[in-house]
Amino acid sequence: MATANHNLSNYDKSTIPNAKDFRFGIVVSEWNSEITEGLYNGAIDALVDCGALKENIERVDVPGSFELIYGAKHLVSKSFDAVIAIGCVIQGETKHFDFVCEGVTQGIKDLNILYDTPVIFCVLTDNTKQQSIDRSGGKHGNKGMEAAIAAIKMAELRTN
């Protein structure tokens, strides 16, 4: 497992650009909200820790992970420096998991190709709910924090 010996919440703040002048959009799936809220909180904590102003962060909620694409596109149109798409898809008994994961992945990739605003993929695609808990503030840290750091770095790249 990729995160088995890696804490997603660890970052070296000295290597992160100051986020004070950046604007961030965050789109959050309501599905699996106990997981997505943890990811959102981790993202906010990291953004603020790195200098982002709370008034420069806008949140939009969407029903599920598939709707993250439209929500992110909506935020991209509002001139943010970076957008974070937060969701959680947990493997079930049907192929629905595969279709949702593939669609969301390709949709976020397409937004990154079509627009000048980076869209950060923070969608957990785990086999079990426990794996998602472990990556949204549990024993492996918080993937939301990792996504926020990526958003800051990409916002900085966008301005260069």
Domain ranges of the chain: 21-159
* Contact assessment for residue 23 and residue 13, using Cβ atoms and an 8 Å cutoff: no
Parallel, antiparallel, or unpaired: how do β-strands 136-138 and 141-142 relate?
antiparallel
pTM of the model: 0.93
- Whether 96 is catalytic is yes
- Catalytic residue, chosen from 6, 74, 96, 140, is 96
pLDDT tens per residue across all 160 residues of the chain: 355 556 657 888 889 999 999 999 999 999 999 999 999 999 999 999 999 999 999 999 999 999 999 999 999 999 899 999 999 999 977 888 888 889 999 999 999 999 999 999 999 999 999 999 999 988 999 999 999 999 999 999 998 8
pLDDT at 146: 95
- SS3 category, 157: helix
Across-strand partners of 62?
A: 29
**Cα–Cα dist 111/154, whole Å:** 14
Domain 21-159 CATH class label: alpha beta
